[in-house]
Amino acid sequence: MKKCYISGKKPSVGNTVSHANNRVKRRWMPNLQRVRILENGQVKTVLVAASEIRSGKIVKAPRGMSAKPAAKA
């Protein structure tokens, strides 16, 4: 199931109600984006809600930092 790594936002369910009061189940999906974040010195790729990115609750990993450990020669 898709879920925000920070806030835990996930799809919410409800009804679409027409003018004739017909009810049909539907889902409202959170705006999840795949983001590389820096956490405890490690780079992680996670799903984060766009509202969390805008509010500054995450620290994006700088470009060039690898999510995989460097291979030892």
How far apart are the C-alpha atoms of 15 and 26, rounded to whole Å?
6
Residue 9 lies in a domain: yes
* Mean pLDDT of all residues in 18-30: 97
Give the CATH number for residue 52.
2.30.170
Nearest to 31 by CA among 73, 59, 3, 66: 3
Domain count, the chain: 1
How sure is the predictor about 41, in pLDDT bands with cuts at 50, 70 and 90? confident
Residue 43 lies in a domain: yes
* Mean pLDDT of all residues in 35-55: 93
Residue pair 58/35 in contact by the 8 Å Cβ criterion: yes
Residue 58 lies in a domain: yes
Residue 21 lies in a domain: no
pLDDT tens readout for residues 47-70: 999 999 999 999 899 988 776 665
Query: Which element (helix H / strand E) includes 26?
Result: strand 23-28
* Mean pLDDT of all residues in 3-22: 97
Residue 49 lies in a domain: yes
Residue 68 lies in a domain: no
